[in-house]
Structure 1
Amino acid sequence: MSTQEIIAITIVLAALFAYINHRFIKWPPTIGIMAISLICSVLLVTLGNGKSLVSEKAVQLALSVDFQDVLMNFMLSFLLFAGAIHIDSAKLKKESVPVIVLATVGILISTFLVGGILWQILVWFSIPIPFIYCLIFGSLISPTDPIAVMGILKRSKIPESLELKIAGESLFNDGIAVVIFVSLVQIARSSSGTFHLADVGILFLEEAMGGLVFGAILGYIGYYALKSIDDYNVEVLITLAIVMGGYFIAGRLHVSGPLAMVVAGLITGNKSKRDGMSDITRDYLGKFWKMIDEILNAVLFLFIGLEMLIIKTNITVFLIGLICILVVLFSRWISVLIPIFLLRFKVKFEKNVVSILTWGGLRGGISVALALSLGPDMYRDQFVLITYIIVVFSILVQGLTIGALAKKLKY
């Protein structure tokens, strides 16, 4: 399937599903598009004979798109920048302590809890997967997806301070999780299966801290460029250059591109907007990045639904995936409860914060992409199916009920 054909079919399907959702279903766009895409995929798998033109084209589309490459190396940079550009950095700064702790300590707790419990479950099912690979799964499923989370939060009525905690954590924890994921994968690939704490620490500093510093440099280069002119066409183009050029360079420097995009987006959305742009430019820039965010979100969740067509299914692994829904929720609850317990004397938390942070910690495309990046020798097929089950539950069930939960808890 040619690139032109892939793009044309993708945009047409995304627009069609978005229209159906807006006209009839009226769910949040990301959830509605994914649900319709998933239903269509299930119908094609169960009812189609695989020889019809529709079935053939749908499978060709799913096979032609390298989801992991498209999301991690292209879409993620735009989506993170677009999400960060709309966050008030001054308000986020007030929530910086819980955000940082949840995005680091919380991820580590969840990684080891999920990995340990999954390893025991696999023993019960007589599936011999080494513990290190269970930890790898724990690292890829633990980060809350900023794309899914921020899309849902726009419609849920929760306090702004709590919304900032969830959004801030989700923006930063994916970069941290990727560092942990890469470290564990390197350990698994080593001949001895051992690792040195110093090596992991160096990798963390290079990836995470390097990404934060590089993002700040990008943001301030953009600020001075935007401040020196007053032409909204050129200024929008500069922000595109920050994202595309910056993410590419981050990869070559071996620093965290996702963290760099978050920091650059925060600087552009706050300092650059406040001190370096005219009112007309602010208006155009805001609308442009909102449009980019909506379009790419539609395409992303369309792809998540279409992945159903090509995922290898296994009844035993499917059952384990259903059990892992509870495992991930329990691990999320513990990974939220412990940091909040430790911080409760220094940070003021909203009532029922643990419940909202637990249920609002949605998993999304990043987890699927990391699972797909595993090699066949790393139990890729099993982990992809388990991940997919958890992500679908997270977005459809948790995403649709987080607003009702907030209402029940009297927010």
Structure 2
Amino acid sequence: MEFLQIASLLIVLAGVFGAINYLFFKLPSSIGILVVALLASLAILLLELLLPQTSMAETVQTVVRSVDFSDALLEGMLGLLLFAGALHVKLDDLRAQWLPVFLMATIGVGLSTLVVGVGFSWITGMPLMIALVFGALISPTDPVAVLGVLKEAALPKSLETKIAGESLFNDGVGYVVYLVLVGLAFGTTGHGEATHDGGGLADAAKLFVVEAGGGALLGLVLGYLTFRVMRRIDDYSLEVLITLGLAFGGYELAVALHVSAPIMAVCAGLLIGEVGAKHGMSEETRKYVDAFWKLIDEILNAVLFLMIGFEIFLVVFDTTTVLAGLAAVALALIARLVAVSVPLLVLRPFSDDDVPGVIPIMTWGGLKGGISVALALALPESEWKTVILTATYLVVIFSIIVQGLTVKRLAMRVGREPELM
């Protein structure tokens, strides 16, 4: 299928499934679209089982394979989603929570990778280095999914900032850790290039610094240059177009320069959302930019969750992979608890920001999303790729549906601010 045909099909299905969810299921928008897509996929598989002559499942599988989910997300959608998310996080709020956000997005990702990797290697017999790659790809969380279902939970601002900030940055850090570990496990850099013999941990550390630091620097430089241009312009349609160019062009430039494109998108979005909005835009432009990126955010998430629902046709389900997937669900929750609780408990004696229920809410609210599936699909071919892909898919589906539909209830029970008398 041609690109325009694929894009048209995805938009049409997202709209149809969104309407079905709104009229009948009434679930949060993105989760509802995922549920409807999964039900449609299972219905097609059941129909194929009952009427094998229809070959419907094979046809759908062919269409799904024609959409490179990994490229579509990692080379396009992810930059827009992270830029949009960062655009709406205020630097003043983030500055107040920078230390817990920093520790959870760095040390937390490392602890999560280690817990999942060691546990998954022990359970499945997978080589430790490959299991650590799985730990890295399953560690990032999806800020949009959880914040969308927590809107009505009346959480303290500091907790919302922790959730949003940590999720934005752990996507970028998790991606860099994934690239480093792929290089160590499979002998490639993660950009498809072979590593040099004897590089080992020194090359891996260098890659991490270059990817993460280079991505942050590029995002700040491009964001600042864009801000300087926007200060000289007072045309809301052109300024919206400029921000879109920054998100698209900056992401592709980061990919070309082999620095972290997700971290670039977050840093550029934070700078434009704070400095650019205050000093480079008129009130009218701010309203249009804000509305435009909120709409982009909603549309892309609808399409992303739709695609996740149909990726079931590329997953192999047998006793071995399903049992490994169920074990991975438990490991992912344990790892998330460790990743959240260790930094927060270390900081507790030095902080007066004692928000009720922060550890259980952030643990259960650490929803996994499309980036984990995309990274699993992008792995080099090996005997363990099928196990990793199935385990990743089951973790993501459990996370989005089970955790996503219950985290609001948990938050309202243990994390709401007390009502004033």
TM beyond 0.5: yes
Gaps of 5+ in 1: 124-128
Q: Is the 8 A contact 2:146 2:367 kept in 1?
A: yes
Q: Is the 8 A contact 1:147 1:364 kept in 2?
A: no
For 2:34 and 2:406, the matched residues in 1 are separated by 16
Cα deviations by residue, 1:171-208 (Å, 9 ceiling, x for unpaired): 00111111111111111124999864432221111111
Q: Is the 8 A contact 2:94 2:161 kept in 1?
A: yes
Q: Is the 8 A contact 1:156 1:402 kept in 2?
A: no
User: Structure 1 pair 54/196, CA: closer, same or farther in 2 (3 Å)?
Assistant: closer
Shift of 1:376: 1.7
For 2:240 and 2:55, the matched residues in 1 are separated by 41
Instruction: Give secondary structure in 2 for the equivalent of 1:376.
Output: coil
Shift of 1:56: 5.3
**Could you tell me the percent identity over the aligned residues?**
44
User: Structure 1 pair 157/62, CA: closer, same or farther in 2 (3 Å)?
Assistant: farther
Cα deviations by residue, 1:210-239 (Å, 9 ceiling, x for unpaired): 111111111111111111010111111100
Q: Hey, what does 1:380 align to over in structure 2?
A: 385
1:399 to 392, 397, 404: 404
User: Structure 1 pair 307/51, CA: closer, same or farther in 2 (3 Å)?
Assistant: farther
User: Structure 1 pair 229/349, CA: closer, same or farther in 2 (3 Å)?
Assistant: same
Q: Hey, what does 1:172 align to over in structure 2?
A: 169
Instruction: Give secondary structure in 2 for the equivalent of 1:340.
Output: helix
Instruction: Give secondary structure in 2 for the equivalent of 1:374.
Output: coil
Instruction: Give secondary structure in 2 for the equivalent of 1:377.
Output: coil
Is 1:154 paired with 2:151?
Answer: yes
For 2:242 and 2:96, the matched residues in 1 are separated by 30
Shift of 1:378: 5.7
Q: Is the 8 A contact 2:81 2:297 kept in 1?
A: yes
User: Structure 1 pair 139/293, CA: closer, same or farther in 2 (3 Å)?
Assistant: same
For 1:135 and 1:322, the matched residues in 2 are separated by 17
For 2:390 and 2:46, the matched residues in 1 are separated by 17
In the TM superposition, 1:90-105 aligns within 5 A as 90-105=92-107
Is 1:204 paired with 2:222?
Answer: no
User: Structure 1 pair 199/232, CA: closer, same or farther in 2 (3 Å)?
Assistant: same
Q: Hey, what does 2:118 align to over in structure 1?
A: 116
Q: Hey, what does 2:355 align to over in structure 1?
A: 350
User: Structure 1 pair 193/336, CA: closer, same or farther in 2 (3 Å)?
Assistant: farther
Q: Is the 8 A contact 1:149 1:170 kept in 2?
A: no
Q: Is the 8 A contact 2:219 2:266 kept in 1?
A: yes
2:135 to 132, 135, 138: 138
In the TM superposition, 1:314-329 aligns within 5 A as 314-329=318-333
For 1:342 and 1:193, the matched residues in 2 are separated by 39
Is 1:216 paired with 2:220?
Answer: yes
Gaps of 5+ in 2: 188-194, 417-421
Q: Is the 8 A contact 2:184 2:200 kept in 1?
A: no
Q: Hey, what does 1:309 align to over in structure 2?
A: 313
For 1:84 and 1:189, the matched residues in 2 are separated by 33
Is 1:363 paired with 2:368?
Answer: yes
Q: Hey, what does 1:241 align to over in structure 2?
A: 245
For 2:378 and 2:234, the matched residues in 1 are separated by 43
Shift of 1:53: 7.9
Q: Is the 8 A contact 2:109 2:139 kept in 1?
A: yes
For 1:399 and 1:18, the matched residues in 2 are separated by 17
Q: Hey, what does 2:9 align to over in structure 1?
A: 9
Instruction: Give secondary structure in 1 for the equivalent of 2:315.
Output: coil
Q: Hey, what does 1:23 align to over in structure 2?
A: 23
For 1:80 and 1:280, the matched residues in 2 are separated by 24
Instruction: Give secondary structure in 2 for the equivalent of 1:118.
Output: helix
Instruction: Give secondary structure in 1 for the equivalent of 2:349.
Output: coil
For 1:186 and 1:64, the matched residues in 2 are separated by 27
Shift of 1:274: 1.1
1:62 to 60, 64, 75: 64
Q: Hey, what does 1:42 align to over in structure 2?
A: 42
User: Structure 1 pair 208/50, CA: closer, same or farther in 2 (3 Å)?
Assistant: farther
RMSD: 1.8
Q: Hey, what does 1:275 align to over in structure 2?
A: 279
1:229 to 228, 233, 245: 233
Q: Hey, what does 2:267 align to over in structure 1?
A: 263
For 1:87 and 1:209, the matched residues in 2 are separated by 21
Normalised by the size of structure 1, how large is the TM-score? 0.94
- Matched letter for residue 158 of structure 1: L
Is 1:287 paired with 2:291?
Answer: yes
Q: Hey, what does 1:126 align to over in structure 2?
A: none
How many pairs were matched up? 406
For 1:306 and 1:243, the matched residues in 2 are separated by 27
